[in-house]
Amino acid sequence: MRGGVQRNRAVAGEQCDVFPTDCPTRDMVDHVTSRWGVWVLISLRSNGLRFHELRESIQGISEKMLSQTLRALVEDGLVWRKVEPTTPPQVTYGLTEFGRDVGEPLTELFDRITRQLSPRGTG
């Protein structure tokens, strides 16, 4: 089985049997798997978070990158942004349906690596 080299399993109509530069899927995957995008998506998987909560959750991310990453994810339709015009203003981020859809395999990836690197399972 397995046929040829790159044919993905014809999931949506085999338009991508290699990974060309102009494939929109590739672009989106690159966004999703961007340095900080991964962690934002995983962080938001269970519930919405405020800007600062996200920042605390993802150790090492700067305000700039967090804001930049969030903006990109919102543009891509993976994350929603809710502004509550209070004082001080509260902004909450969460996953859209698409975001959850994408976040699932990402979380699975995270879990599997955690499991593999865990000292418990290996011994």
Partner DNA sequence: CAGGATCCTATCCGATACTG
Partner DNA sequence: CAGTATCGGATAGGATCCTG
Residues near DNA (CB under 7 A) are: 34-36, 50-52, 60-65, 67-68, 70-71, 81, 83, 88-91, 93
For residue 22 the two structure tokens come to 């102009």
Cis peptide before 88 (omega within 30 of 0): yes
Pick from 52, 59, 79, 85 the residue near a copy of itself by CB under 8 A: 59
Count of chain residues binding a copy of itself (CB under 8 A): 56
Which range touches a copy of itself (CB under 8 A), out of 51-59, 66-74, 82-90? Answer: 51-59
Binding flag, residue 83, a copy of itself (CB under 8 A) = no
Whole-number minimum distance, CB 64 to DNA, in Å? 4
Binding flag, residue 113, a copy of itself (CB under 8 A) = yes
Distance CA 60, CA 11 (A): 37
User: What residues contact 32, with CB distance under 8 A and at least 6 apart?
Assistant: 38, 41, 76, 78, 102, 106
